[in-house]
Amino acid sequence: MNIVFAASEAVPFAKTGGLADVVGALPREIERLGHRVRLFLPAYRQACSRTPPPRPGGIELEIPIASKIVPGRLLQSRLPHSRVDVWLVDQPEYYDRPQLYGEHGKDYQDNCERFVFFCRAVMESLAAMGEPVDLLHCHDWQTGLIPAYREILYGHHPVFAETATLLTLHNMAYQGRFWHWDMLLTGIDWKYFNWRQMEFHGDLNLLKTGIIFADRLNTVSPSYAEEIQREPLGCGLADVLHYRADVLTGIVNGIDVRQWDPAHDPHLPQAYNVESWQVGKAACKAALQQASGLAVEPRRPLIGLIGRLASQKGWEIVLPLLEAQLENSDYQWVVLGSGDPAIETRLRELARTHPDRLHVTIAFDEPLAHQIEAGADMFIMASRYEPCGLNQLYSLRYGTVPIVHHTGGLIDTIVDVTDETLAARTATGFHFHHYTTDSLAEALARAVECYRHHGSTWSQVVETGMSQDWSWHRSARQYVELYEQTREEHRRRLTAEPSS
């Protein structure tokens, strides 16, 4: 197949979150399965400042935006360790900025125009290249117009005559909602600005547009695909998603198993695998305790937390738990992250008050993240909602038992410890079902009880998790099946439609 990815960010060109990790990894794995893959991104300042810099791509663009024509061009690069061509849509007035979407806590006011330009530029570039496209894989609201353009403006162009479209929904909280007059920027007829297609409570909604016009939809886990068909996780679009439920599925994200591999991790004091984890993790735990100023005590539970310090990630229930446990237990805690200034301040205060129990690093520190995953006994992911999640997958690979909220991708990746799952040898962690501090505390107590008093059971849980395959290769095979299904359904629809 000839597959084109379109997204607003991808590692190593530009990143603000997990979307970049997905788009930086999945095209490479699809290409390794024998398919032709190209990736389109905006030519942000970050992308253009890489070494080596992107080179001119030989295509000049003139894109209609409302009543004006905006010039642009393509730059060319490549995804590292692959043959995936990366095409960067260059328009300095739109993309040569300090950040991707906004500054100082505020979105750029012209974000609609910036991504209208990007979506239209992708279509015009592919038309200029002249190579028929089998499938356009779009990601989030920034590319939501592409399925509409394919359907409304470009369907009869030879390049797109049989092109199917897939839209991946990474996080429903971000929808690209703009005032109704921005409809003029798109070049799409006003008749499509209606409640069934592009309009949402009087505004233009680019994510809704993609949801309506794409041939198929998917999310980054099966459970999240179910959850977003109900409020509040549908974020106002639950009815729209329920209407399209027959074409909505979920595929769990993968992880980079070369970068996250305890057997070959250069950030660890001692490498280990599923056969040697007890010795290896003991060495990593002792090193983490010592580096964090905590007592080097092999059997004291050490709990790790890594990630964005924000309400969505569960800190509103984690902080009360942490405060109580620091007063009433001997557990040790290591926290790495940044975000909400109020959460940062409270964590610093707790670390000053309890330096023997809690170490906090307010930063993004990749080596330390690896060291926490290897040295901790347990890892808490208390997210209020979680489309997929990656840290619980890193934890499994590093033999660190996850304690997770029963939501989204955490349901699909972590099997709760019960008598039945232990008997089936499928248990990999501990769930809490209610988004409360008490429910989280109960799950933590279960985990500590198992760790301290049921060593053989704990070893079984660790080894089951370490033995699982959460690689991108696994996810890529599922995506190829979805691509083939999407193409076949699109062909059937074209055959069934009367010719105009």
Residues 112-170 pLDDT 10s: 999 999 999 999 999 999 999 999 999 999 999 999 999 999 999 999 999 999 999 99
Q: Find all residues with CB under 8 Å of 37, minimum gap 6, and list them.
A: 3, 4, 5, 27, 28, 30, 31, 84
Q: Find all residues with CB under 8 Å of 239, minimum gap 6, and list them.
A: none
Residue 417 contacts residue 429 (beta carbons within 8 Å): yes
Same domain, 175 and 41: yes
Domain with residue 176: its CATH number is 3.40.50.2000
Is residue 72, in this structure, part of any structural domain at all? yes
pTM above 0.75, yes or no: yes
The rounded distance, in Å, linking the Cα atoms of 323 and 162 is 58
pLDDT in tens, 262-275: 999 999 999 999 99
Find where tokens 């599925």 sit: 249
Task: Give, to the nearest 10 degrees, the angle between helix 277-291 and helix 366-375.
Answer: 130
Same domain, 396 and 483: no
Task: Provide the mean pLDDT of the chain.
Answer: 96
Q: What is the mean pLDDT of residues 228-235?
A: 97
Same domain, 174 and 307: no
The pair of three-digit structure tokens given for residue 28, joined into one six-digit string = 């490479």
pLDDT in tens, 428-484: 999 999 999 999 999 999 999 999 999 999 999 999 999 999 999 999 999 999 999
**Where does the pLDDT of residue 298 fall: very low under 50, low under 70, confident under 90, or very high at 90 and above?**
very high
Same domain, 162 and 114: yes
Same domain, 108 and 32: yes
The rounded distance, in Å, linking the Cα atoms of 473 and 479 is 10
Domain with 150 in it: 2-254+474-496
Q: Supply the pLDDT for residue 104.
A: 86
The pair of three-digit structure tokens given for residue 458, joined into one six-digit string = 């704990």
Alpha helix segments (H runs only) across 271-390:
277-291, 315-328, 341-353, 366-375
Is residue 270, in this structure, part of any structural domain at all? no
Same domain, 225 and 246: yes
Please give the distance of CA 137 from its chain centroid, rounded to a whole number: 15
Domain count, the chain: 2
Q: Supply the pLDDT for residue 499.
A: 55
Q: Supply the pLDDT for residue 498.
A: 65
Choice between 245 and 495, residue whose per-residue pLDDT is larger:
245
Is residue 158, in this structure, part of any structural domain at all? yes
Same domain, 316 and 211: no
Same domain, 169 and 305: no
Same domain, 238 and 372: no
Is residue 212, in this structure, part of any structural domain at all? yes
Is residue 135, in this structure, part of any structural domain at all? yes
Is residue 364, in this structure, part of any structural domain at all? yes
Q: What is the mean pLDDT of residues 59-82?
A: 97
The rounded distance, in Å, linking the Cα atoms of 91 and 83 is 25
- In sequence order, the β-bridge partners of residue 194 are none
DSSP state of 388: S
